[in-house]
């Protein structure tokens, strides 16, 4: 009987060993799959970070170019004001710019209003005695 107990213990130990080995093997496979997915996620994040850095550099470069253009325009405007202040002919700075101001200067004509003289008054004037409010008391309301 002792040998039967030994064989049963051996079988139970083999079954338990089988399940432990299966559990450990699955754990290793999951770990490898997790490592692979983490690696792909890491590569994706690195790629996105590189794209973000490149876009940020382009935006910064565009901002620098716009700032330079703005500085040039401000300097040109300042120079124009200085030239206008020191001009001997006394011309002032035009609101619309030189081309539009010249166009407006040549096309502006002063309109004069002619007073219209009519030969008759409108019907509602009482001073002539014609119209609705003639001022006569002939017809009275009862």
Is residue 23 situated within a structural domain? yes
Is residue 67 situated within a structural domain? yes
Is residue 68 situated within a structural domain? yes
Is residue 27 situated within a structural domain? yes
Q: What is the model's pLDDT at position 1?
A: 74
Identify whether the C-beta of residue 71 lies closer than 8 Å to the C-beta of residue 84: no
Is residue 98 situated within a structural domain? no
Query: 82 is in which domain, residue-wise?
Result: 2-86
Is residue 17 situated within a structural domain? yes
Q: What is the model's pLDDT at position 120?
A: 66
Intervals of the chain under pLDDT 50:
none
* This model's pTM is above 0.75: no
Is residue 111 situated within a structural domain? no
Number of domains in the chain: 1
Is residue 100 situated within a structural domain? no
> How does pLDDT run across 82-115, given as a tens digit for each residue?
877 775 555 555 666 767 767 776 776 666 777 7
């Amino acid at each position: 009987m002792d040998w039967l107990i030994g064989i049963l213990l051996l079988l139970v130990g083999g079954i338990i060993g089988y399940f432990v080995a299966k559990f450990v093997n699955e754990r290793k496979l999951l770990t490898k799959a997790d490592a692979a997915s983490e690696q792909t996620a890491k590569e994706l994040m690195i790629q996105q970070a590189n794209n973000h850095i490149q876009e940020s550099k382009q935006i910064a470069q565009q901002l620098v170019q716009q700032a330079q253009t703005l500085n040039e325009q401000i300097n040109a405007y300042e120079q124009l004001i200085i030239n206008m202040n020191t001009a001997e002919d006394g011309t002032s700075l035009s609101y619309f710019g030189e081309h539009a101001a010249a166009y407006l200067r040549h096309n502006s004509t002063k309109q004069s209003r002619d007073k219209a003289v009519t030969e008759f008054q409108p019907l509602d004037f009482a001073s002539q005695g014609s119209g609705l409010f003639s001022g006569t008391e002939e017809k009275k309301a009862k």
